[in-house]
Amino acid sequence: MAQPARPKTHIAYHTQDAIYVRGADLVNDLIGKVSFSEMMFFQITGRRPTPAQTALLDAVMVTLMEHGLTPSVIATRMIYVSAPEALQSAVAAGLLGVGSTFIGTMENAVQLLDEILSAPEGEQTRAKAIAQRHRESRQPLPGFGHHLHKPDDPRSARLIALAREHGTPGNYIRALETLAAAVDEVYGRHVTINATGAIAAVLGEIGFPREVMRGVAVVSRAAGLVGHILEERNEPAARYIWDLAEHEVPYEPGSG
Amino acid sequence: MAQPARPKTHIAYHTQDAIYVRGADLVNDLIGKVSFSEMMFFQITGRRPTPAQTALLDAVMVTLMEHGLTPSVIATRMIYVSAPEALQSAVAAGLLGVGSTFIGTMENAVQLLDEILSAPEGEQTRAKAIAQRHRESRQPLPGFGHHLHKPDDPRSARLIALAREHGTPGNYIRALETLAAAVDEVYGRHVTINATGAIAAVLGEIGFPREVMRGVAVVSRAAGLVGHILEERNEPAARYIWDLAEHEVPYEPGSG
Amino acid sequence: MAQPARPKTHIAYHTQDAIYVRGADLVNDLIGKVSFSEMMFFQITGRRPTPAQTALLDAVMVTLMEHGLTPSVIATRMIYVSAPEALQSAVAAGLLGVGSTFIGTMENAVQLLDEILSAPEGEQTRAKAIAQRHRESRQPLPGFGHHLHKPDDPRSARLIALAREHGTPGNYIRALETLAAAVDEVYGRHVTINATGAIAAVLGEIGFPREVMRGVAVVSRAAGLVGHILEERNEPAARYIWDLAEHEVPYEPGSG
Amino acid sequence: MAQPARPKTHIAYHTQDAIYVRGADLVNDLIGKVSFSEMMFFQITGRRPTPAQTALLDAVMVTLMEHGLTPSVIATRMIYVSAPEALQSAVAAGLLGVGSTFIGTMENAVQLLDEILSAPEGEQTRAKAIAQRHRESRQPLPGFGHHLHKPDDPRSARLIALAREHGTPGNYIRALETLAAAVDEVYGRHVTINATGAIAAVLGEIGFPREVMRGVAVVSRAAGLVGHILEERNEPAARYIWDLAEHEVPYEPGSG
């Protein structure tokens, strides 16, 4: 096997008295001068964000931080009471839930938008075809529908309006709205754009790399989970939920 | 066993058309109006941060995001190439390294500062006693010393200066500097305040709950790790490191 | 939304003086009477294994435990030195690498075998079609090929021979061998059945539920990783690998 | 900094046509010839176990595999429904709960036994001193007491009896029983040896390395969790528990 080329990193290096991230001096150019979201955008893309990009990344991360006692939060609280000496384990356990069911559809949603934006036959025609093929195969349409927030997910309209206010290019938002119109027509009823769909479009607008979009949810949820760990410490709920589970999911003979 | 009191949560709830976090309307009061760091502080403490608190939390998180090919980064890259379909797993694997060795000393450092601040015999006396007991027991002193950044960790001075600029109460910074002076005297040589020590003091200044201080590192590192995942995807290094490890850590008979 | 039916568990329950697993009394019927593999089969399937099933599950787990300084092992060692107080975190980090790249193909392999076994047009015809469609689409064929073990993976022949010795039904082994013959013909060269392919067939032979086959690798690797943690504790290698990575993957300006 | 000595590994290596673990040929000497527990003992210690060591390691692992809907199990089920494509993540999430609260006391228990065994003033004197210092400081005594299994944990007597049957050296069992007698005397009431205490003694008897004793629980629980994943797939309970948690842990204004 031929020796593979020696890989490089373009992210960071340090000397005895300085640390450089993406070519910038961490101490003199970044600490105290950029916000967390600016730093995150810079770390991931290698480009300094515009004010609009920062504002929209902030908006997306504020949207994603918290949604009550979700499965991720329950996992985090269970692990925290089991290993309170390792806060990072409790956060990691919850983050493992940022998977295909609740958040990962972000990636599928942005793929549909890319498909629409690059369709030679025109965006509306492709949007309609996408709606039809999902309806026929009875598969969930990524970015659409919400079991709780009906008729409309309030976060979606807000995020789309913010992108407009900040004057982003607008193509991903347009593709999303084109798809939404096609969905309502093909399904014969109104289906909400959900938060995941709006987030996929807004992250597309700001040029956030689609390959790691799920990472935005991971970072934001990490902060949300830290809040739940502190609450669990001060007002324990995990053992109560554990008791509930034991009593409400009773044993019954038989193999599953 | 008496039935335990039914626990409550004070963090979030949702209705069909709204989500409330810490009593604020997510869509109308938070999205587009607060930055990620403001939201994080609010989520965790239940209090809206002052501009100084936000600026210093941003500064700490910018400081912690990235430090090159650390053990956490190597773990994340190894897991990413093994399970590229689950980005969240790769981040979680790296975050599990935010433990006692590299970051967790933050908690021990803030405990020392609290010990100094509440010492009936005076801060300087207690600081000297702390330095002496660590020196005598040859235990590392949390918040002091760095194997690479000598004589001084450049991040520490920057963070302390920022806290001063923002006019924080100043007690944690004072305790840290009192301890630093005692350390230099007791050890008979200059030992740097490291980034972890400075961060503990700055987070103390802004009233960040000490029980979950490690969570700040977890959130910030999560963003750093997402950057490495994207780089690993575009310019793979993990297999090269794996090959290096196999060749440079050879097998030798014998039991370890 | 209609109230969902109250779920049940069929696995375990306990009283003040006894624990029952799958209906058996843990203390009197299981501890000291069944081996780990017997217990594992019973826990997962609800059925007591035959001696042949136990022997083959043991053989598969012995096969999977260890393969040197793999990405999983490197991740485990990196996390162990970062958080030595939480051994479970180091194991968990490594297990997160039991994903689609190295192990998860077990699931895809068994799907191909099921496809062959249920093909109305005959097993050989379907096997050839499977080989052709993978060759044409230039996709890797799950269960076949190994970058290191050529021309044949020595584990595969051993596992298949063991299944024969134990007189299992033989249909999965037959399907695997039928596919192997088709592969050699269609590709015009010999491609080895790899360990993952043989394991998929052997686990199929013993009726191990295909939905959780990957779990066998997870359990076995967990034991392997504990061995590496002990070695890392006694003869540290992680910091050496970290140094290697920092030196051999140098920084270079540019965005990736 | 002086170049550190090049580390070695004593665990495994492979050639093109063979894999060696601890010096043994995996394919010809281990697969089909040793059970999982024998292989695990060999992998971790580098020594082939005696039949007694194998039997007792099996007994301990059978004891630890399953205990109903524990916090670990709940975490695993929550993550499984969130990311069903990554079974390994669900197992890893649950394993992160093998921490100080429920299992990790194994390590503290064995330390007490070692303390007794090496006490120059005699085992009984030291046992009594240990009981007294825990009682006075009102700290839980590792290896003793169980909130559910009273007056005696049925697993403990069974494990101790098995160790006797197998004719182990007996010193750890003796130390445990000496401590148990001292506990009953000092506390003025009977306190059960719990499973963790008995397991610590039995693992001490078979020479299992104390530094990684927690790893035995990690491996065994991994198998238990795979059983719950299969049940969750076939008879979902996680969403029901999630609903329960949302309803039974209501929101209330106020900061925690």
Q: In 3-state terms, what secondary structure has residue D193?
A: strand
Lowest-pLDDT range of A176-190, C241-255, D46-60: C241-255
Give Rg (Cα) of chain A.
22
Please name the residues between 59 and 78 in chain B that touch chain C, using a CB distance below 8 Å. Answer: 68-72, 74-75, 78
Q: How many CB atoms neighbour CB D48 within 10 A? A: 14
Hey, is the C-beta of B26 within 8 angstroms of any chain A C-beta? yes
Name the residue facing D253 among B23, B83, B253 (closest C-beta): B23
Reported as a single tens digit per residue, the pLDDT across A125-160 is: 999 999 999 999 999 999 999 888 888 999 999 999
Residue A135: how many CA atoms within 13 Å on its side-chain side?
15
State whether D78 and A81 contact (CB < 8 Å): no
**Sequence-distant (≥ 6) Cβ neighbours of residue A42 within 8 angstroms:** A21, A22, A24, A30, A34, A48, A49
Hey, is the C-beta of D226 within 8 angstroms of any chain C C-beta? yes
- Comparing D146 with C238, the larger pLDDT belongs to C238
The alpha carbon dihedral of C16, C22, C25, C30 has a sign of: negative
Hey, is the C-beta of A250 within 8 angstroms of any chain C C-beta? yes
Q: Which residues of D touch C34 (CB under 8 A)?
A: 58, 62
Reported as a single tens digit per residue, the pLDDT across C95-106 is: 999 998 887 789
- To test the contact with chain A by mutation, choose from B226, B232, B247 the residue with the greatest count of A C-beta atoms within 10 A, namely B226
pLDDT recorded at residue C1: 44
Which among B82, D40, D41, D16 has a CA at the least distance from the CA of C155?
D16
Successive 10-residue mean pLDDT values, chain D, 256 residues: 77 93 97 98 98 98 96 98 97 96 88 97 98 96 89 95 97 98 97 96 98 97 98 97 95 80
- Comparing B102 with B114, the larger pLDDT belongs to B114
Architecture of domain D50-249: Orthogonal Bundle (1.10)
Q: Please tell me the distance from the alpha carbon of residue C94 to that of residue C74, in angstroms, as a whole number.
A: 8
Angle of the C71-82 helix axis to the B71-82 helix axis, nearest 10: 150
Where residue B151 falls among pLDDT bands split at 50, 70, 90?
Answer: confident
* Contact status, residue A157 vs residue A102, Cβ threshold 8 Å: no
Reported as a single tens digit per residue, the pLDDT across B3-55 is: 567 999 999 999 988 999 999 999 999 999 999 999 999 999 999 999 999 99
Q: Which residues of D touch A74 (CB under 8 A)?
A: 74-75, 78, 241-242, 245
- To test the contact with chain C by mutation, choose from A1, A6, A9 the residue with the greatest count of C C-beta atoms within 10 A, namely A9
Q: Which residues of A touch C254 (CB under 8 A)?
A: 10, 46
Beta strands in chain D (DSSP E): 12-14, 19-21, 24-25
pLDDT recorded at residue A16: 86
Pairing of strands A24-25, B12-14: unpaired
Name the residue facing A71 among D231, D234, D242 (closest C-beta): D242
Burial class (CB in 10 A: 0-12, 13-18, 19+), C95: buried
Q: Which residues of D touch B89 (CB under 8 A)?
A: 86, 88-89, 92
Q: Which residue in chain D has the smallest CA separation from C44? A: D227
Name the residue facing C8 among A46, A92, A249 (closest C-beta): A249
With b for 16 or more beta-carbon neighbours within 10 A and e for fewer, the A129-159 pattern comes to bbbeebeeeeeebbbbbbeebeebbbbbebb
Hey, is the C-beta of C244 within 8 angstroms of any chain A C-beta? no
Hey, is the C-beta of B83 within 8 angstroms of any chain A C-beta? no
Which among B71, B108, D57 has a CA at the least distance from the CA of C80?
B71
Please name the residues between 179 and 218 in chain A that touch chain C, using a CB distance below 8 Å. Answer: none
pLDDT recorded at residue C103: 79
Q: Please tell me the distance from the alpha carbon of residue D72 to that of residue A15, in angstroms, as a whole number.
A: 43
Hey, is the C-beta of D129 within 8 angstroms of any chain A C-beta? no
Structure tokens at A14: 């340090």
Hey, is the C-beta of A85 within 8 angstroms of any chain D C-beta? yes
Name the residue facing A99 among D83, D101, D238 (closest C-beta): D83
Q: Which residues of D touch B46 (CB under 8 A)?
A: 254-256
Structure tokens at B155: 């991040």
Q: Which residue in chain A has the smallest CA separation from C47? A: A255
Phi then psi for residue D111, to 5 deg, are -65, -40
Q: Which residues of A touch B14 (CB under 8 A)?
A: 67-68, 148-149
Where residue B1 falls among pLDDT bands split at 50, 70, 90?
Answer: very low
What distance lies between CA D34 and its chain's CA centroid? Answer: 22
Q: In 3-state terms, what secondary structure has residue B107?
A: helix
The alpha carbon dihedral of C59, C64, C67, C73 has a sign of: negative
Reported as a single tens digit per residue, the pLDDT across C194-218 is: 999 999 999 999 999 999 999 999 9
Name the residue facing A69 among D97, D235, D249 (closest C-beta): D249
Which among D219, D225, D220, D248 has a CA at the least distance from the CA of D80?
D225
Where residue A102 falls among pLDDT bands split at 50, 70, 90?
Answer: confident
Average pLDDT taken over every residue of chain A? 95
Q: Which residues of A touch B74 (CB under 8 A)?
A: none
C177 to chain A nearest CA, in Å? 29
ipTM reported for the complex surpasses 0.90:
yes
Question: How is chain D split among helix, strand and coil, in percent rounded to 5?
Answer: 60, 5, 35
The alpha carbon dihedral of C177, C181, C186, C189 has a sign of: positive
Reported as a single tens digit per residue, the pLDDT across C16-59 is: 889 999 999 999 999 999 999 999 999 999 999 999 999 999 99
State whether A252 and C8 contact (CB < 8 Å): yes
Residue whose structure tokens are 């301990």: D60
CATH 1.10.230.10 in chain D: give the residue spans. Answer: 50-249
Q: Which residues of C touch D239 (CB under 8 A)?
A: 4
Neighbour order of strands in the sheet with B24-25? B12-14, B19-21, B24-25
State whether C249 and A22 contact (CB < 8 Å): no
* Contact status, residue A159 vs residue A194, Cβ threshold 8 Å: no
Apex B137 CA angle, B135 and B139, nearest 5: 75
Q: Which residues of D touch A256 (CB under 8 A)?
A: 230-231, 234-235
Please name the residues between 156 and 175 in chain D that touch chain C, using a CB distance below 8 Å. Answer: 158-159, 162, 165
A247 to chain D nearest CA, in Å? 10
Name the residue facing B74 among C74, C83, C234 (closest C-beta): C74
Name the residue facing D209 among C65, C67, C230 (closest C-beta): C230
Hey, is the C-beta of D90 within 8 angstroms of any chain A C-beta? yes
CATH T-level assignment (fold) for domain C50-248? Cytochrome p450-Terp; domain 2 (1.10.230)
pLDDT recorded at residue A227: 98
Structure tokens at B175: 């305790």
pTM score, whole prediction = 0.97
**Contacts of A among chains (3+ CB pairs under 8 A):** B, C, D
D194 to chain C nearest CA, in Å? 12
Hey, is the C-beta of C225 within 8 angstroms of any chain B C-beta? no
| Alpha-carbon torsion, ordered A160, A162, A166, A169, to 10 deg | -10
Reported as a single tens digit per residue, the pLDDT across A45-70 is: 999 999 999 999 999 999 999 999 99
CATH 1.10.230.10 in chain C: give the residue spans. Answer: 50-248
Reported as a single tens digit per residue, the pLDDT across C148-206 is: 888 899 999 999 999 999 999 999 999 999 999 999 999 999 999 999 999 999 999 99
Largest CA distance in chain B: 66
Average pLDDT taken over every residue of chain B? 95
Hey, is the C-beta of D6 within 8 angstroms of any chain B C-beta? yes
DSSP-derived secondary structure for chain A: -PPPPPP-B-SEEE-SS-EEETTEEIIIIITTTS-HHHHHHHHHHSSPPPHHHHHHHHHHHHHHS--SS-HHHHHHHHHHHH-TT-HHHHHHHHHTT-STTTTTHHHHHHHHHHHHHT-TT-HHHHHHHHHHHHHHTT---TTB--SSS-S--HHHHHHHHHHHHTT---HHHHHHHHHHHHHHHHHTS---B-HHHHHHHHHHHTT--GGGTHHHHHHHHHHHHHHHHHHHHHS--HHHHHHHHHHHS-B-SS--
Name the residue facing A96 among D72, D92, D240 (closest C-beta): D92
